[in-house]
A and B are shown apart, each in its own frame.
Chain A
Amino acid sequence: MIEIKNLHANVEGKEILQGINLKVNAGEIHAIMGPNGSGKSTLANVLAGHEGYEVTEGSVSFNGKDLLDMAPEDRAREGLFLAFQYPVEIPGISNATFLQTALNEIRKYNGQPELSPKEFLDLIKEKSEILNMDSSLLSRAVNQGFSGGEKKRNEILQMLTINPKLAILDETDSGLDIDALKIVSQGVNAFRSDDNAVIVVTHYQRLLDYIVPDFVHVLFHGKIIKSGNKDLALELEEKGYDWLTKGSLETQNV
């Protein structure tokens, strides 16, 4: 699905990613964990094509294509989706219009016919139900006046509607209470299949009780310093990050 090799990236001249290597296959869920400032969100944003980050080294192959060479909209059309940590409010553009535009642009790119308004409404209704979302949110402006939980749910609604090949969830659990966390996880679990993959970027283990990862990676100072299975997340929950990061710093000092 996606293969990241020796990825380095700067923001405002500061190197945040310092050689990331990661391979994700279809059907897998990978969790990327790490303390604040380790580069988790940077990795998510670099993969989605945020122009504020400069890739200085490395490569990313996405279903055989050079991801780094593509504009953000083309990455989306090729099947990459980023659920934002801070979804953006767009006054004056209804949620339904926005999502219909997005979906039809992606379909056009992939040679599929555009959905009629009726087909779109049926689809979005079906997906909203998975997330217990009130249909009134669809006629409201994108994320405007949405609570934190509604915004995160809206990200997952977009993911379910667009149905990407690879979904990257950037701290989707932050700011959610346990009920909202369950609903969001329900959405992600409804999405997952043998044909797609999920990268869950999170600070805390608790999301991984509901979205069970096949692999857990610990990011620190812009590098993956440890990888394991879901037990690694539990271990991190128990011991914190220090036991790993201290060792890493020592290694770096040598």
Chain B
Amino acid sequence: MASKTKNANAKSWYIDNFFDFQKKLNGQSGSFINESRIEAIDKLKNTDFPTLKDEEWKYTNITPILNHEFKSPLLTGNPEINAGLVKQSLYTGFDSHLLVFVNGIFSEEFSDLSGIPQGVTINSLNKLIETDPDLIKQYFEKVEYINTFNLVNTAFAYDGFVVIIPDNVILKKPVQILYLTGHKNETVLSAARNLIVAGENSQAKIITNYRPVYDNTYFSNFVTKVFAGDNSVIDIYKLQNESEKAYHIETTKIEQQQKSIVNHHSYSFGGKLVRNDINVKLNGEFIESHLYGLYLGNDNQHIDTHTFIDHAKPNCMSNELYKGILDDNSRGVFSGKILVEQEAQKTNAFQSNKSILLSDNAHADSKPQLEIYADDVKCSHGATVGNIDETAYFYIRSRGVPSNIAKSMLIRAFANDVLEPVNISALSETLSHQIFEHLHRAEI
């Protein structure tokens, strides 16, 4: 079978490549993280890549990813980056601590680590493994496994970002992490393992920003782990602006302790094939998890978001709002699973997924799943797919506003409840602007 062959070919590509990769590691090959690399590649030998027959991948055909031979930047070498590219790739209008990575490898030259408050760690994983391996060890599982791509990530990840906020510290400035990816002549694999830890009563805002170096094919494959300590507040903004030929797969695992609040905002603009898995474990009482997502599709983009919310303890609240705006031949997929464990009484869990299709060939899939083992809970989910609201469209035009501006206004109106919770005002404005830019619509 063709898909079987592709699967086997892709596996042997990564397995064969792993030996060359290992040779390039030099000093890092003895570190604890290398044990996890070896464990991951061993596991990959006995694990297939998912196919459309897998329930979790039924709407997303990953064959295009398997068709490419992606290489670690340790094997391809990294492109020269200039300050201009960094500058134009950043989100601006607010102060931030800045970490820059090129193909998943930390670039000290373009990062700005000045003014980091005492005790706060904002740094590269690779550096910390050298300087403070015990700090990292306590948070990293050897292999974070949800899907086969995580194994590729763990086997080939050389670096990643680490943000650790100690107890009782409120980090004022957001941390912006810029991932620049791409190579002029090679299809590069950018694999990074990221870590966010918020201590008790701490607060932080983290922005991850994914941008291309060249508008060509590459593969971003990330695993991000988040720990929210008691009473902490973490705002995460995932702003995905990959090249239109890029593949992007990220698994985000969030574990929350009691009374913590996590606001996860996900904006998907770029990428040819994009898959986000966001798994949240509410592992204490009185936790709030808010997940907001906006995904925009044009041309043949395929954007897939899978969420899994695990209510393990009583008296918690989760709220998911994912919206898709899909044009041309694009396809948006949302699958959201909510598990309410037996112990998790008084759970409030809400989920909403809405899409508008701007063209006859755009497509949206939505798959809510509730699994409830407690009896005193409030759970709701809803999914809608539709076109632009004709009555509203007529209303705006009846005031003399041209049809293209009227459509932009309705697109902005549709996105509003996702944009509203963005609490960095300059960022909110930029994102609003990006919506029109990405959809090639008139600015309002």
B419 touches A92 (CB 8 A): yes
A48 touches B398 (CB 8 A): yes
A162 touches B397 (CB 8 A): no
The one of A51, A84, A87, A91 in contact with B413, judged by C-beta atoms closer than 8 angstroms, is A91
CB-defined contacts of A93 to chain B, threshold 8 Å: 409, 412-413, 444
A178 within 8 A of B: no
A73 within 8 A of B: yes
B416 touches A72 (CB 8 A): no
CB-defined contacts of A131 to chain B, threshold 8 Å: none
A254 within 8 A of B: no
Q: Which residue of B lies closest to A77 (CB)?
A: B400
How many Å lie between the Cα of A76 and that of B398 in the bound state? 6
A102 touches B401 (CB 8 A): yes
Q: How far in angstroms is the closest Cβ of chain B from A108?
A: 9
B402, B403, B410, B420 — which one has the most chain A CB atoms within 10 A of its CB? B402
How many Å lie between the Cα of A52 and that of B392 in the bound state? 12
Q: Which residue of B lies closest to A49 (CB)?
A: B398
CB contact under 8 A between A72 and B394, given known A102-B401, A105-B402, A106-B400:
yes
A11 within 8 A of B: no
* Residue interface bits A73-111, CB-to-B below 8 A is 1, else 0: 101110001101001111111000111011101100100
How many Å lie between the Cα of A88 and that of B390 in the bound state? 11
The one of B389, B394, B401, B413 in contact with A101, judged by C-beta atoms closer than 8 angstroms, is B401
A87 touches B395 (CB 8 A): yes
B413 touches A90 (CB 8 A): yes
Q: Which residue of B lies closest to A161 (CB)?
A: B399
A92 touches B413 (CB 8 A): yes
CB-defined contacts of B417 to chain A, threshold 8 Å: 91
A71 within 8 A of B: yes
Q: Which residue of B lies closest to A164 (CB)?
A: B400
CB-defined contacts of A158 to chain B, threshold 8 Å: 399
Q: How far in angstroms is the closest Cβ of chain A from B307?
A: 24
B403 touches A98 (CB 8 A): no
B396 within 8 A of A: yes
B400 touches A71 (CB 8 A): no
B398 touches A82 (CB 8 A): yes
A73 touches B395 (CB 8 A): no
* Residue interface bits A33-71, CB-to-B below 8 A is 1, else 0: 000000000000000111110000000000000000001
Q: How large is the interface on A (under 10, 10 to 19, 20 to 34, 35 or more residues)?
A: 20 to 34
How many Å lie between the Cα of A123 and that of B409 in the bound state? 23
B416 touches A76 (CB 8 A): no
B66 within 8 A of A: no
B398, B417, B419 — which one has the most chain A CB atoms within 10 A of its CB? B398
CB contact under 8 A between A76 and B400, given known A88-B391, A92-B419:
yes
CB-defined contacts of B391 to chain A, threshold 8 Å: 88
Q: Which residue of B lies closest to A78 (CB)?
A: B400
Q: How far in angstroms is the closest Cβ of chain A from B105?
A: 39
A102 touches B399 (CB 8 A): yes
CB contact under 8 A between A105 and B401, given known A51-B390, A72-B394:
yes
A73 touches B402 (CB 8 A): yes
* CB-CB contacts below 8 Å: B356-403 with A: 389-392, 394-403
* Residue interface bits B49-89, CB-to-A below 8 A is 1, else 0: 00000000000000000000000000000000000000000
How many Å lie between the Cα of A84 and that of B331 in the bound state? 36
B415 within 8 A of A: yes
CB-defined contacts of A98 to chain B, threshold 8 Å: 396, 399, 401, 409
Q: Which residue of B lies closest to A45 (CB)?
A: B394
B405 within 8 A of A: yes
How many Å lie between the Cα of A97 and that of B399 in the bound state? 13
A71 touches B397 (CB 8 A): yes
Q: How far in angstroms is the closest Cβ of chain A from B279?
A: 30
Q: How far in angstroms is the closest Cβ of chain A from B107?
A: 37
* CB-CB contacts below 8 Å: B312-340 with A: none
How many Å lie between the Cα of A52 and that of B390 in the bound state? 9
Q: How far in angstroms is the closest Cβ of chain B from A70?
A: 11
How many Å lie between the Cα of A162 and that of B401 in the bound state? 12
Q: Which residue of A lies closest to B395 (CB)?
A: A88
Q: Which residue of A lies closest to B419 (CB)?
A: A92
How many Å lie between the Cα of A91 and that of B413 in the bound state? 5
A72 touches B398 (CB 8 A): yes
* Residue interface bits B400-444, CB-to-A below 8 A is 1, else 0: 111101100110110111011000000000000000000000001
How many Å lie between the Cα of A82 and that of B395 in the bound state? 9
A71, A81, A101, A109 — which one has the most chain B CB atoms within 10 A of its CB? A101
Q: How far in angstroms is the closest Cβ of chain A from B284?
A: 34
How many Å lie between the Cα of A46 and that of B243 in the bound state? 46
CB-defined contacts of B402 to chain A, threshold 8 Å: 73, 105
Q: How far in angstroms is the closest Cβ of chain B from A170?
A: 11
How many Å lie between the Cα of A48 and that of B395 in the bound state? 10
Q: How far in angstroms is the closest Cβ of chain B from A156?
A: 13
CB-defined contacts of A71 to chain B, threshold 8 Å: 397, 403
Q: How far in angstroms is the closest Cβ of chain A from B434?
A: 14
Q: How far in angstroms is the closest Cβ of chain B from A147?
A: 18
CB-defined contacts of A84 to chain B, threshold 8 Å: 395, 398
The one of B394, B405, B415 in contact with A92, judged by C-beta atoms closer than 8 angstroms, is B415
CB contact under 8 A between A102 and B409, given known A52-B390, A88-B391, A90-B392:
no
B416 touches A91 (CB 8 A): yes
Q: How far in angstroms is the closest Cβ of chain B from A175?
A: 18
B413 touches A73 (CB 8 A): no
Q: Which residue of B lies closest to A104 (CB)?
A: B400
CB contact under 8 A between A109 and B400, given known A51-B394, A92-B415, A101-B444:
yes
How many Å lie between the Cα of A52 and that of B79 in the bound state? 56
Q: How far in angstroms is the closest Cβ of chain A from B404?
A: 10
Q: Which residue of B lies closest to A79 (CB)?
A: B400
How many Å lie between the Cα of A192 and that of B269 in the bound state? 49
CB-defined contacts of A82 to chain B, threshold 8 Å: 398
CB-defined contacts of B444 to chain A, threshold 8 Å: 93, 97, 101
Q: What are 11 contact pairs spanning A and B, CB under 8 A? A: A73-B400, A76-B397, A76-B399, A76-B400, A82-B398, A91-B417, A92-B412, A92-B416, A92-B420, A98-B409, A99-B399
5 further A-B contacts with Cβ under 8 Å, apart from A84-B395, A91-B413, A92-B415, are A87-B395, A90-B413, A97-B444, A101-B405, A105-B400
